[in-house]
Amino acid sequence: MKLILLGPPGAGKGTQATRLVEKFGIPQLSTGDMLRAAVKAGTAVGLKAKAVMESGGLVSDEIVIGIIKDRIKEADAAKGFILDGFPRTVAQAEALTKLLADEKMKLDAVVELKVDEKALMARIENRARETVAAGGTVRADDNPESFKIRLDAYREQTAPVSAYYAGIGELKTVDGMAPIDEVTKAINRALAG
Ligand code: ADP
């Protein structure tokens, strides 16, 4: 199963990806997680990405395409993977189409979680509160200023990615405002149909 999850920040992609990982026994490839790990480890990629990530902007296509190109060739991705947070621009989507063709891989589905933008800020504030309550550290970009920039980046650069997949007849849309279990069921139905 090779799957892309699309949707704005706070749409619940991570939550649903975790469930799909269990169901299909395939890894979740989150470019956000990979970039945060690179920042933490202080690698060359991390040093380049840190400031733009914290502000809420997008890291360059070249960097994330490079990361994904290497990652999908690793052994644990042989049976499939869930892409979460990639592609985030049409250029990334086009690069992915080419990458998959070169590797003789085929996507099974692109699932978009549709959410009401007004609910997103509340979700992010909630995520920050829960993280603090659990003794964790809130992400450097989970603050109102960066979140607004992330939403703008989504609207301007990532929403066209849905149109790209709709255009090639691969997009399935699920209501991301439903309760978590309902969203999971809707995704499973979309994958079955
Ligand atoms: P969110 O919770 O907003 O979906 P992620 O954890 O996926 O965020 O990503 C956090 C940040 O990492 C993004 O705001 C961006 O700076 C960077 N990033 C992640 N994936 C990509 C990508 N595919 N292209 C460019 N930047 C990315």
**Structure confidence by residue, pLDDT tens digits, 87-145:** 999 999 999 999 999 999 999 999 999 999 888 988 889 989 999 999 999 999 999 89
Confidence band for 9, pLDDT divided at 50, 70 and 90: very high
Confidence band for 186, pLDDT divided at 50, 70 and 90: very high
CATH topology of domain 2-26+79-192: Rossmann fold (3.40.50)
pLDDT over 90 percentage in the chain: 91
pTM confidence score: 0.93
Residue type, 173: T
Q: Is 58 in the pocket of ligand 1 (CB under 6 A)?
A: yes
Confidence band for 193, pLDDT divided at 50, 70 and 90: confident
**Structure confidence by residue, pLDDT tens digits, 139-170:** 999 998 999 999 999 999 999 999 999 999 89
Q: What is the pLDDT of residue 135?
A: 96
Return the ligand 1 atom nearest residue 84 CA: 7
Q: Which active-site residues does the annotation give?
A: 13, 88, 127, 139, 150
Q: What is the pLDDT of residue 42?
A: 97
Q: Are 109 and 3 in contact (CB under 8 A)?
A: yes
Return the ligand 1 atom nearest residue 153 CA: 14
Q: Tell me the longest C-alpha to C-alpha distance in the chain.
A: 46
Letter string b/e over residues 118-157, b meaning 16 or more CB atoms within 10 A of that residue's CB: eebeeebeeebeeeeeeeeeebebbeeebbebbbebbeeb
Q: What is the pLDDT of residue 132?
A: 94
Give the domain ranges of the chain.
2-26+79-192
